Amino acid sequence: MIRLPNVLTIFRKEMIDLLRDRRTIFGMVVVPILIYPLLLIMFSQVLASQTERLMTRKYSLVVVGALNAPGLVEHLKTDDSWEITEAAPGSDAASSDTPLLEGAAHVVLVVPAGFLETMQAEKSATVELRFNKAKDESNFALHRAREAVEDYSAQVLRIRLQGKPDGFERPVVADENDIAPPERTSGFHLGRLLAMLLVLMSAVSAFYPAIDMASGEKERGTMETLLVSPALRSEIVFGKYLAVATIAAFTAVLHLTSMGVTFSYFFKNTLGAAKGAGLTFSIRPSSALLVLLPLIPLNLLFSALCLGLSAFARSYKEAMVYLTPVMIVANVASFSALVPGIEFNYALALIPIQNCAMLTVALLSGDWKWGHVLATFASSSVYALVALRWTWSIFQREDVLLRGGADFDWKRWLKTWGSARPGLGTALVAVIAMMALTLTVGPTLQGMKAHRLMLAHQLLIIALPAGIIAMLASLNFRSTFRIRAANPVHLALAPVIAVCALVLLTTLAAWLVDFAFFKKSALEHGEKLIETQKALGGLPTILVFMALLPAVCEEFLFRGIVLSGLRRDLGRWAGIAACGAFFGVAHQVPLVVLIVSLFGMILGWMALHSGSLLVSVVTHAIWNASLLIAQAGKVPRWLLPDKGFPAWPVVTVAALVLPAAIWAFHRARGSDEEELAGDGGATSIS
């Protein structure tokens, strides 16, 4: 039983220790308030002066083929900002590359032979501008040369159009009209930058307090004093954790506030006064407050991770080494907010750190849904709890807290390989790996043929990561993936349960698809499935690649490592529900998520009761095959009279048969209880 007064005492002690340190006050308060205005002022001054220098300086222009366009050369010479050199007659364009690379020339204008004749024939003549993109001077010179050529072209056009009515040269004009409110425009452009900084500041803010409270106490020799106090280990953990989270949250909010005020001033008073400024900074206060929502679980997650890794380290220096990968992951996840074209969905809401970054972009741009907010907050909170639980387990080990960090014993790992049991952490890592691969590797597979695409997606993205995680975690494959013979009664009832569940859940889908929330995405998903089926060919091939292959690979992941880990730490029914929810969310389409989640719960119960993955694989495969056969029109018309949905007599029969089949399935003896009794000595990996 955790005693709140002890937790608050530890919390107060850690806060006092931190606040006594002037370096902490400086890093927590002074730096966020001063660093951004100072950096912005310095950056603006340097940028303005350098830009002014590059725009007003005299550039070197080499003209190759000057005799081919005397009018153009004379026009260029009227601008005294050019230092014009005419190449020797007969010179080719390549001869100017060396001066460009060495910086002796900034831009080269190449006029081809026949330029003058083309102009006299009132046709479109082409000149070449060669430049060195690796030099800023050459890029600015290119911009100026392009404007000069366009100005000369406009002069020639005016001569050609003498006597013609206004608008003759532009028969059709496109008038662009931006209807987005200023706050949406600013949120769209600046939200990605702020999202990246949100993740980085949350990680950095938890970095140093966590190191000071754990590995720092080890080096100062005060950890032992704290451990012999009347406070329980759990109270010490929660006290330190609250202190780290408080300091990190306060620092992160100060950073974000300072950035927001600085950006607002900069864009309103600096860019807003500039000619042609296209950006404004106008974000509603409600949107700004909503940004704090993803900051809360993100801060809790980083605080737990940093505190646990710091406690695991032997020294301050080693803690820096352990926490560096956390910062790298935070950097990679934060930069994903800068990638254009990524649509925020429920699958992305399950990927830690990245979900908070993408949600921040959606909140600031005004394009967000409460479902995405809740999914992100819930998943990030779960990850924070798992990280806190791991940190608590570190503080239970005196060999880590008193004698330094634990060494990894290769001999012991090899000797005990294959004996561990998955926990909640293992299950979450497997799901996150699958989601991350789906969003990163998945799009790169789209160019493959349908057969290879299905094979690569199921094996590389779903099944292979689960196998690799199981091997690295030294899991017992037999118990984790339920590799054992199935009860014949269970196998016989599997088709009945699959078909009846399909009939009832399809009827539910037919009722829900009329709702606007489900309709559009469901129709698009159906069209994609039809395209995939056409690309695969005949029905036998479709059944192999869209029924059997997904059943094997998805059951290996979800009813294997995921269900085993969730069941061990969450309990039987909570594990089944969570596994079904993860299984549904992996399908991303809202209507499919709901239907597949319910079916996934049935599969989870069947897998646990039977103790054999084969039962859930067979059930899953028959579900897929029945659905595909129905879509192909290979069933009697009276079974599916209404746009492919079951007839009411069929639904009634299914509603009566399914409970009976489930009761018979439950009555038949399973082997899950035997599994728990036989593998009781296995180590749990959370």
Per residue, the 3-state secondary structure of 407-449, as one string, reads: CCCHHHHHHCCCCEEECHHHHHHHHHHHHHHHHHCHHHHCCCC
Question: What digits encode the pLDDT tens for the residues 313-370?
Answer: 777 777 777 777 777 777 777 776 666 666 777 767 777 787 888 887 777 777 777 8
pLDDT at 399 (0 to 100): 63
Residue 257 has pLDDT above 90, yes or no: no
Share of the chain above pLDDT 70, in %: 78
208/663: higher pLDDT: 663
Of 165-169, 198-202, 492-496, 508-512, where does mean pLDDT reach its minimum? 165-169
Of 135-149, 210-224, 560-574, where does mean pLDDT reach its minimum? 210-224
439/155: higher pLDDT: 155
Residue 540 has pLDDT above 90, yes or no: no
Distance CA 577, CA 605 (A): 9
Most confident of 190-194, 335-339, 614-618: 614-618
- Name the band, by pLDDT with cuts 50, 70 and 90, for residue 131: confident
pLDDT at 676 (0 to 100): 43
Question: What digits encode the pLDDT tens for the residues 410-423?
Answer: 666 566 677 778 88
Closest-CA residue to 551 (of 450, 454, 683, 641): 454
Residue 497 has pLDDT above 90, yes or no: yes
Q: Show the 3-state SS of 579-633.
A: HHHHHHHCCCCHHHHHHHHHHHHHHHHHHHHHCCHHHHHHHHHHHHHHHHHHHCC
In terms of phi and psi (left: phi > 0; alpha: psi -120 to 50; beta: otherwise), the region of 580 is: alpha
351/242: higher pLDDT: 242
Quick check: helix, strand or coil at residue 393?
Answer: helix
Most confident of 34-38, 231-235, 406-410: 231-235
Sign of the torsion angle spanned by Cα atoms 399, 402, 403, 407: positive
pLDDT at 616 (0 to 100): 92
pLDDT at 685 (0 to 100): 52
Residue 35 has pLDDT above 80, yes or no: no
Of 469-473, 613-617, 637-641, 666-670, where does mean pLDDT reach its minimum? 637-641
Residue 209 has pLDDT above 70, yes or no: yes
pLDDT at 400 (0 to 100): 62
CB atoms within 10 A of CB 169: 11
pLDDT at 607 (0 to 100): 92
Distance CA 543, CA 191 (A): 45
- Token pair, residue 576, equals 């089944």
As a whole number, the mean pLDDT across the chain is 78
Distance CA 59, CA 55 (A): 10
Residue 621 has pLDDT above 90, yes or no: yes
Residue 251 has pLDDT above 50, yes or no: yes
Domain locations in the chain as residue ranges: 4-41+182-407, 52-160, 447-685
- Name the band, by pLDDT with cuts 50, 70 and 90, for residue 266: low
Question: What digits encode the pLDDT tens for the residues 656-667?
Answer: 999 999 999 988
35/172: higher pLDDT: 172
- Name the band, by pLDDT with cuts 50, 70 and 90, for residue 679: very low
pLDDT at 181 (0 to 100): 62
Closest-CA residue to 590 (of 342, 372, 433, 434): 372
3/129: higher pLDDT: 129
- Name the band, by pLDDT with cuts 50, 70 and 90, for residue 277: very low
Placement of tokens 């439950």 in the chain: 666
Which residues have a Cβ under 8 Å from the Cβ of 70 and sit 6 or more positions away? 116
Residue 677 has pLDDT above 50, yes or no: no
- Token pair, residue 168, equals 């003759």
Distance CA 437, CA 468 (A): 14
Candidates 3.40.1710.10, 3.40.50.460, 3.40.50.150, 3.30.300.130; correct CATH number of 52-160?
3.40.1710.10
DSSP characters over 450-490: HHHHHHHIIIIIIIHHHHHHHHHTTB-HHHHTT-SPPPHHH
pTM: 0.60
Of 98-112, 505-519, 592-606, where does mean pLDDT reach its minimum? 505-519
Residue 175 has pLDDT above 60, yes or no: yes
Phi and psi at 531, nearest 5°, equal -60, -40
53/601: higher pLDDT: 601
